[in-house]
Structure 1
Amino acid sequence: MNPSTLTVTSMTTAEEAEAFRTLNEEWISHFFTIEESDRRTLNDPFAAIVEPGGDVLIVRDGGKIIGCVAVVRSSDDVFELSKMAVTPAVRGRGLGRRLIEAAITRARQLGATTLFLGSSTKLPNAVHLYETAGFQHVSPEQVPLPPYARADVFMTMAL
């Protein structure tokens, strides 16, 4: 991974949508079970995320897609940080932090004043990354999360 060749762009092609699905299915199936709500989002991210006013960011190293993250519109100014994934070969090199920063910037551009997420205690590195990025722990009742059985950590960030 060469930082000078990294680009972050909005998902626009079927190839990028397929990479978004593949990257997310890899980590979800490794740690959890792919749920029906995952399938709906991953099988058609344009309909599930982009058309309702969100975005999927794709990270490339040169021409190779190595990561992604979604900002999903929940209401006019509330968005969910969702479906962040990085190719296993480049984990631990700061790409997750770069993805979160890009997602925060994009959520602001889309009009977000609040960003929220659901994660899991089975993903301590991810939870720590969210904490260091400025997300605050909240109770599940404080976020409008979709029903993922795996989510047991809930966080928000004022933008």
Structure 2
Amino acid sequence: MSIQPQVEIVPFEPSLREHFYTLNAAWLQKHFVIEPIDEQVLRDPEHAVLAPGGAIFFARLGDVVIGTCALLHEAPGVYELSKMGVDEAFRGLGAGRLLLEAAIAEFHHRRGHTLFLESNSSLQPALRMYEQAGFVLQPTIRAGSHYARADVYMIYAPK
């Protein structure tokens, strides 16, 4: 009887940098385009995400990095859940939910008061996962959105 490896969530380390780009580029290119803001964040996560006070998480299955997400620090107490992607070959193993839980836990650890995300209405499985985690769909898109593709704005408001 073989033991199946479990999905493990790990924080950013420089050796994982390339996975932050490749995992996000894969879903962006499949569904949309890589916008200039994406390129900036994905190419230099230490400067764009970590230095301003954010965090990056990776999902690993054994030695294989299968997913990632970022918690961007927007303003004091305000964070954006962003750059979440799971390799299509590994979907259904719970990696997305574990990444989401890690980001929310980090948001609470940092004593944030507002957590939001921007997405697209075509990404229904992701939107359902966000709603199940406590994100609430807002009636309009976010003022000053950085993303041309964003037509969904959600704020974390667990019951």
SS in 2 for 1:148: coil
Match of 1:98 in 2: 98
TM-score (norm. length: structure 1): 0.90
- Asked whether the 8 Å contact 1:113–1:158 carries over to 2, the reply is no
Q: How many residues align?
A: 156
SS in 1 for 2:75: coil
- The CA deviation string for residues 110-150 of structure 1, in whole angstroms up to 9 with x for no partner, is 23122100000111111111111110011446x46641111
Write the mapping of 1:45-124 to structure 2, written as runs, cut at 5 A: 45-124=45-124
SS in 2 for 1:74: strand
For residues 58 and 67 of structure 1, the distance between their equivalents in structure 2, rounded to whole angstroms, comes to 6
- Asked whether the 8 Å contact 1:70–1:83 carries over to 2, the reply is yes
How many Å apart are 1:45 and its aligned residue?
0.6
How many Å apart are 1:97 and its aligned residue?
1.2
Verify: 1:148 aligned to 2:139, yes or no: no
Distance 1:129-1:3 versus aligned 2 partners, 3 A rule:
farther
Unmatched runs of 5 consecutive residues or more in structure 1:
none
Residue identity in the other structure for 2:54: G
Residue identity in the other structure for 1:135: F
- Asked whether the 8 Å contact 1:76–1:111 carries over to 2, the reply is no
For residues 80 and 87 of structure 2, the distance between their equivalents in structure 1, rounded to whole angstroms, comes to 21
How many Å apart are 1:5 and its aligned residue?
3.1
Give the aligned CA root-mean-square deviation in angstroms: 1.8
- Asked whether the 8 Å contact 1:68–1:84 carries over to 2, the reply is yes
Residue identity in the other structure for 2:119: S
For residues 4 and 66 of structure 2, the distance between their equivalents in structure 1, rounded to whole angstroms, comes to 12
TM-score (norm. length: structure 2): 0.90
How many Å apart are 1:93 and its aligned residue?
2.6
Match of 1:16 in 2: 16
For residues 140 and 3 of structure 1, the distance between their equivalents in structure 2, rounded to whole angstroms, comes to 43
For residues 53 and 3 of structure 1, the distance between their equivalents in structure 2, rounded to whole angstroms, comes to 35
Residue identity in the other structure for 2:7: L
Percent identical among aligned pairs is 38
For residues 30 and 91 of structure 2, the distance between their equivalents in structure 1, rounded to whole angstroms, comes to 15
- Asked whether the 8 Å contact 2:140–2:153 carries over to 1, the reply is yes
- Asked whether the 8 Å contact 2:134–2:157 carries over to 1, the reply is no
Verify: 1:5 aligned to 2:18, yes or no: no
For residues 111 and 144 of structure 2, the distance between their equivalents in structure 1, rounded to whole angstroms, comes to 19
Q: As a proportion of its length, which structure holds more helix? A: 1
